[in-house]
Structures are given as C-alpha cells and as structure tokens.
Structure 1
Amino acid sequence: MSNAIRIHSFPLSGHCHRVQLFAGLTGIGHELVPVDLAAGEHKRDPFLALNPAGKVPVIEDGDVVIADSTAILVYLARKYAPDWLPADAVGEARVQRFLSLAANEIANGPAAARLVTVFGAELDAERAKATATYAFDLLEGHLTGRTWLVGDRATIADVAIYSYTAHAPEGNVSLEPYPQVRAFLKRVEDLPGFVAMPSTPVGLAA
C-alpha cells in the first residue's frame, strides 16, 4: 500500500471511526497507525509535529497532513470521492449543516455521555443526555420520509453523524424512541465497505 493514506487513530474514538469508515465505504487505500492515548502518545513528539493540538485523528497523504475528522472527510471527499460531497452551493450547505450538528450537538450530546460512562470523564452526564435528546429529535424529524440526510444518496454528512449516534447507548442514551434514526443507522451499515467501530462495555476503558 505505497499509495495509501496513513490514518493516525484510536479504535474507540468516534471521530477516528468516521475517517476509517469513509475510507472503507469509498475504497480509499489506507494504513491505520494506532496512537496510544492512555500512554499520552498524542501529547508528545513525534505526534505533536503532525497535530500541535494533540488530538486524533490525523491523516498523512503524501506530504499533506490534515487533522480534525470533519476537515479530513471534506478533504478525502474532494480528492478521492467527489460523489460524497455535493458540488452545488445548496447541496454543500445542506451537508455543512450536519457536519456542524456532528461537531456540536452530537459531540456534546451522545459523544460526551459516552465519555462519562466508558472513559470516566468528569462531564455533566445529564446535560449531555439532554443535548443528545435534542439532536436525535432533530434527526428523527428530518429523516422522516428520507433515506439519507442530504439528497438521494449517502454523503459525508451521513458518515459524520453515524459513529457517535450508533454508539449512543454506550452513554446510556437510548435509541428506542427514534425508529427513523435506527433505520438510518442500518442503511449506513448495509453500505458496501462498511467498517464497524468496536463496542465498549461501560467502564471497560475507564
């Protein structure tokens, strides 16, 4: 895989999973480079030379280095899989709406709730669950009568939303009230090239 991108990643991170999932769905050749977060590998060189913020994921594509899962999805779509990011202004704006949802309400909702239960993070679990409810209520309404979040095919919007939504139950956030969301998750999982993120029993990684 001499032409493969390198994905610096942690297997239990939904942000990292988005990148790996997108690479799998689009057939982008890649090599996973594990980063030992427990040992603090992400907070020292040589990792900090790639991302001074000290966070995963980071990709290397030849001489190009990009951090942040959303930025990576946009880059990979534009360069390798343009069908996954609309080129028209309206379509791109609609995708951006869900990239923003993923970076805000999803990150501060189900992702934060999962950080509490799985990793023992000192965050406000009830606030995170309330934010998750708000986000999933929005998604449930939007997905009614729709197959995908934007347009008539999967885009990076669906990839960005999938990982932490699918793993919301690990943060004690039930998906039972959201049949449209659960059906959406199943559609993503049925796509060719789908890659699952490992499930983590509560407290295992704490």
Structure 2
Amino acid sequence: MATEQPSETVSQVPTEASKPAKLPPIPKGATIRRRPIPTRTPSTRASRRIYITPKTPFRSVTARVRKQLDKNLREASASNKAFTNRLASNKNASLDERVRAIQRHSASKDGGIGLEDAGEVVVLGTGRAIQKVVEVAMFFQKQQDCIVRLKTGSVGAVDDVVVEGEEEEWGGEGEERTRMMSSLEASIKLK
C-alpha cells in the first residue's frame, strides 16, 4: 500500500513582506509635480518606438506605423540588392562560385526578399493610453501583411512633492516619489 507524502503547496495569497509599501501621504499645502515617464532606447537598430498618449489621434498612429514599416521594408530590400550588386561586380567568378554564394546567402536568410531584416515598430502606452495601444494592435492584426505581439509590463514614474514656497526650485529640497504604472507595448512586424 502506497503512503502519501504531504505535498508542498505554494500560497497564492501575498504576504505582508511581498506587498509593496504604500507611499506616505503628502504634507498639507504640498502638490505633486509629475515628471515625464522615462523612455528606453530601442534594443536594435531596426526597431522604432512610438509613444502614445490617450489624446493621440488613432489615424495619426496608424499612419506613422505604416510609414515606418514601409521604410523598414525598403531598407531591407536595399540590403538584398547590395548583395546582388556585390555578386554581379565579381566578373571573374565562375558560375559554380556564384551559385554557391547565392546558396550561402539564401541559407542564411531563409530565402525570400529579406523581411526578417525589415525590423519592427513598437507602439507603447501607459495608464489610460493602454486602450489606444490595444486599438492600434487590433487594427494591424486585421491587416494581412502584419504580425502583432503584445507585451505587458510596468514602468516606474518619478514625481516631485513640492511644498508651497519651493515652487521656483525644480528638484531642489522637494521629495521624490516613485510610482509604478502599467504599460503595454505592441510589436508590429511585416510577415
């Protein structure tokens, strides 16, 4: 007869130690001055980041994304043409050498016209702008030539607590507070 071992269970209820500490209330007569949310540089040269707000016009964002995707496609096809020009410039190469060069190039690129080098456009929004990012992602998901990936995250925004009389000083004696904001990033890429 098999005996059952007590199994370890992981509690899903957060403990007091794992909860983030609440910020203390601001003093009377003080105001909060919000700084711009910090931006990150793109991880690759081929990706372009577009930050949007809740008031950014939908058509403006879709036009900027499509324009950047077209630009990325032109740059990728130009690099493919550069390979063709290098291959054609070697006039003394035999047919066998040219065929091998084309096979090496197509094996490294998986054939096609080089859309894997076309890059991506990342649309980012925080807070109330998340709804706008979802709308843009849905628009491009319906397009036949686009692939859309969504990624959630959090961003730390820094605010200054300014007491009356210290408003002339930006970041002088005031207290800094960091708050966490939800963010959504939609990565749009050509198929």
Smaller-chain TM-score bracket: under 0.3
Larger radius of gyration: 2
- TM-score, scaled relative to structure 1: 0.23
Q: More helix by proportion, 1 or 2?
A: 1
TM-score by length of 2: 0.24
Q: Specify which structure has the bigger relative contact order, considering alpha-carbon pairs within 8 angstroms and separated by 6 or more residues.
A: 2
Of Structure 1 and Structure 2, the greater strand share is in: 2
